[in-house]
Structure 1
Amino acid sequence: MHVAVLGAGYAGVALTRKLEARLPPEVDITLVDEASDHVLVHEIHRAIRRPRVAEAISVPLADLFDRAEVVVDRVVDVDAEAGHAELAGGDTVEWDYGALCLGSETAYYGIDGLREHATPLKSLDDAAAIREAFLDVVDHGGRVVVGGAGLSGVQVAGELATLASEEGASVPEDVEIVLVEQLGEVAPNFPANFRQAVREQLEQRGVDIETGTTVERVFDDRIVTDDGDLGYDQFVWTGGIAGDDAVDGDRPVVRGDLRLTDRTFALGDAARVVDTDGEPVPASASAAIREARTAATNIGRLVAHDRDGSADDFAPRLTQYRFEVPGWLVSVGDGAVAQLGPTVLTGAAAKASKASVGAGYLTSVGAVRKARDLVNEELS
């Protein structure tokens, strides 16, 4: 019997590790990803200001697993119903049970010129490109526009404002940083007290916040919005997510058991998850890791059912995922905002909470030295 996991982000890595522990050794496990390293995507923004953090947040896949076969190749097509995927190198991966964990790509929403003129933040290469372009703006003065005020956009704007200060520039006198959001608030999907604290942290660093502003078209020097034109010297886009090209940009809806088909599950950013209470689950690392627990339990039950030769029996009852997280964290340059229950923290306590999350995750996958390095970077 063969179980395949497509994608080595938070969902894919967590699921593969749990399957190794849960499934009997006779069951083969394969993990496919186009990169040989697992990267902590929620920390990529840090590499804009501190490039050396890239080493701390990258872990070789080969170091993470005991028996799963790691295939480094790009998935180009998925047939979830049939249980197979085509790889860029020409091979085909087939499975008895599988999981779609391919993560997400940047969504451009068909806006003319957006893909051509804006830099996304989905990789360490993107972070390096954003840094290089921003340092040129710092040297010559100008305006940087960050599109999208979700957590990713907030973190980019915060890093840029702090980097400008570290480079001896003043925001907004020397460098203007504008955060543009279509909805009426920054961090619009989060509680009001969290949103307010995030806004205050951005404003303290000189970031100009333009909410209720829709990007309609992009040229090489200006952005056309529903509120007029906005000139720019650098444009970073964090305005949304779409599915991987291997599934034609789709993020299929899955319910609480996380099954996309009888033999294929979908979780993490690759899917739009609706939990057992009927609530939509936000795309986040914490949700992906928790979804992996449910998926591993359910795959384990299905595999055991099949191996016991009980095909004529009723299918096993599957566990339902319920979205529950203790709080939310976002870094804003050299500061942070943390919400733990109803309480919102800023300052040193929030920074310590933010550092502990990334370090705790690295420790959980056995990368203890990298965890220590990341804490040093976060708190320095």
Structure 2
Amino acid sequence: MHVVVLGAGYAGLTLTRLLEREFPADVEITLVDQSPDHLVQHELHRVIRRPALASDITVSLTDAVDRATVRVARVEDVDTDARTVSLSSGSLTYDVGAICLGAETAFYGLEGVREHATPLKSLDDAKAIRTAALGAFSQPDPRLVVGGGGLSGVQVAGELAALAREEATDASITLLEQYDTVAPTFPANFQRAVRSALEDQGVEVKTGATVTDADASAVGLEGDDRLRYDAFVWTGGIRGPTPLSGDRPTVRGDLRLSDRTFALGDAASVVDAEGQAVPASAQTAVRQARTVAENVSRLVAYDRGGDKDDFEPRLETYTFDSPGWLVSVGDDAVAQLGPTVVTGRAATALKTTVGAGYLSSVGAIRNAVDLVGDELGRT
């Protein structure tokens, strides 16, 4: 019996660790990722200002798992009917599989945006944004533009504003969002607090600003306005992974894409057991992994049972239920717990606790300690 997990982000690594605890040694588990390390994506923006943090937010996959086989390769295609995976080096077959490949940056075919903007999906991206920002600071009247006012864009804009202060420059940081508010998919009180925190950090927030194109020096906006920039970051949306043709396939509450294949995390468009569309986030990916771990276990037990006269097991369903939301805004943070929104030191401490707790959950105790130490040193 061979279980394959494709992708070692939040969903994939959590799922793999849960399956290791569940299965006996004769069930083979393979974890595939194009990188040998797990990246704590929700802390990636901090590398823009603190490059040394890169080591704190990367965890070796071989250290993070117990007995699963880690295969470092790029997934190129998945045939869910044949249960085969084409890799950049060879192929795999599986009895039960899970697609946890995450999402890629969406550029929506906007002319020049892909060519001139830097996304934030990797450590190399974070370092490139830092290099571009520092280069911009050496110019007269430096202007930095971030396209996309979701949580990722908010965090990037906050870090750039804080970096500008540390470099003693009067650079302008502008955040563009096509909707009428930043963090548009979140509750209104959270939105207001996020905007206020951005403005307190010196970020100019332009809502109702739809990007139409970009060239080497300016971003085009709907209405024929052009916004000059010296550095341009794009966090304007996500698309599905390339092996799924850029699609995020819709899965329902049991998270099953096909008979023996699941899709979860940012790779899928999830509609939960109550018919609610689930936002793409780290916390939802981790919770979906728990549901999939249970369902994979039930299917493996059924397939190993030998009596196929029985009905297939009833699968568990996932229901979206977030305890709250957290976002960093430079040296500040905004947290929502139920209906209550908090900012300042309390929110920053909460975000640090969540980050350290996640690192501890994947066995990276040293990383968690270093992360907390860095945060305490800044407050």
The Cα of 1:138 is off from its aligned counterpart by: 1.5
Residues 83-120 of structure 1: CA deviation (Å, up to 9, x unaligned): 1110112x111100000000011000111111100000
Structure 1 counterpart SS, 2:289: helix
Report the AA paired with residue 117 of structure 2.
Answer: A
Structure 2 counterpart SS, 1:144: strand
Report the AA paired with residue 118 of structure 2.
Answer: T
Report the AA paired with residue 162 of structure 2.
Answer: T
1:140-179 matched pairs, under 5 angstroms: 140=139, 141-169=141-169, 174-179=170-175
Report the AA paired with residue 259 of structure 1.
Answer: R
1:95-174 matched pairs, under 5 angstroms: 95-140=94-139, 141-169=141-169, 174=170
Residues 148-185 of structure 1: CA deviation (Å, up to 9, x unaligned): 0000000000000001001112xxxx211110001110
| Match of residue 211 from structure 1 | 207
Residue 373 of structure 2 is aligned to residue 351 of structure 1: no
1:296-335 matched pairs, under 5 angstroms: 296-335=293-332
The Cα of 1:356 is off from its aligned counterpart by: 0.5
The Cα of 1:312 is off from its aligned counterpart by: 2.0
Question: 1:79 and 1:31 mapped to 2: Cα distance?
Answer: 17
Question: 1:308 and 1:206 mapped to 2: Cα distance?
Answer: 62
| Match of residue 184 from structure 1 | 180
Q: RMSD across aligned C-alpha pairs, in angstroms?
A: 0.8
Range moving further from structure 2, 269-278 or 369-378: 369-378
| Match of residue 259 from structure 2 | 262
Residues 212-250 of structure 1: CA deviation (Å, up to 9, x unaligned): 111111111111111311111111000001111111111
Instruction: Give the TM-score, by structure 1 length.
Output: 0.97
Report the AA paired with residue 159 of structure 1.
Answer: E
Give the percent of matched residue pairs that are identical in Structure 1 and Structure 2.
61
Residues 242-296 of structure 1: CA deviation (Å, up to 9, x unaligned): 1111111111000000000001000000000110000011000000000000000
| Match of residue 195 from structure 2 | 199
The Cα of 1:65 is off from its aligned counterpart by: 1.2
| Match of residue 248 from structure 1 | 245
The Cα of 1:81 is off from its aligned counterpart by: 2.3
The Cα of 1:139 is off from its aligned counterpart by: 2.0
Structure 2 counterpart SS, 1:276: coil
The Cα of 1:378 is off from its aligned counterpart by: 2.6
Question: 2:307 and 2:283 mapped to 1: Cα distance?
Answer: 35
| Match of residue 226 from structure 1 | 222
Report the AA paired with residue 264 of structure 1.
Answer: T
Range moving further from structure 2, 370-379 or 342-351: 370-379
Range moving further from structure 2, 47-56 or 222-231: 222-231
Question: 1:114 and 1:80 mapped to 2: Cα distance?
Answer: 34
Structure 1 counterpart SS, 2:345: helix
Please identify runs of 4+ aligned residues in structure 1 that moved more than 2 A. Answer: none
Question: 2:255 and 2:98 mapped to 1: Cα distance?
Answer: 9
Residues 57-87 of structure 1: CA deviation (Å, up to 9, x unaligned): 0000000111100000111111122211101
| Match of residue 77 from structure 1 | 77
Structure 2 counterpart SS, 1:44: helix
Instruction: Give the TM-score, by structure 2 length.
Output: 0.98
| Match of residue 295 from structure 1 | 292
The Cα of 1:201 is off from its aligned counterpart by: 0.6
Question: 2:50 and 2:374 mapped to 1: Cα distance?
Answer: 8
Residue 309 of structure 2 is aligned to residue 273 of structure 1: no
Structure 1 counterpart SS, 2:51: coil
Report the AA paired with residue 338 of structure 1.
Answer: A
Report the AA paired with residue 304 of structure 2.
Answer: R
Report the AA paired with residue 27 of structure 1.
Answer: V
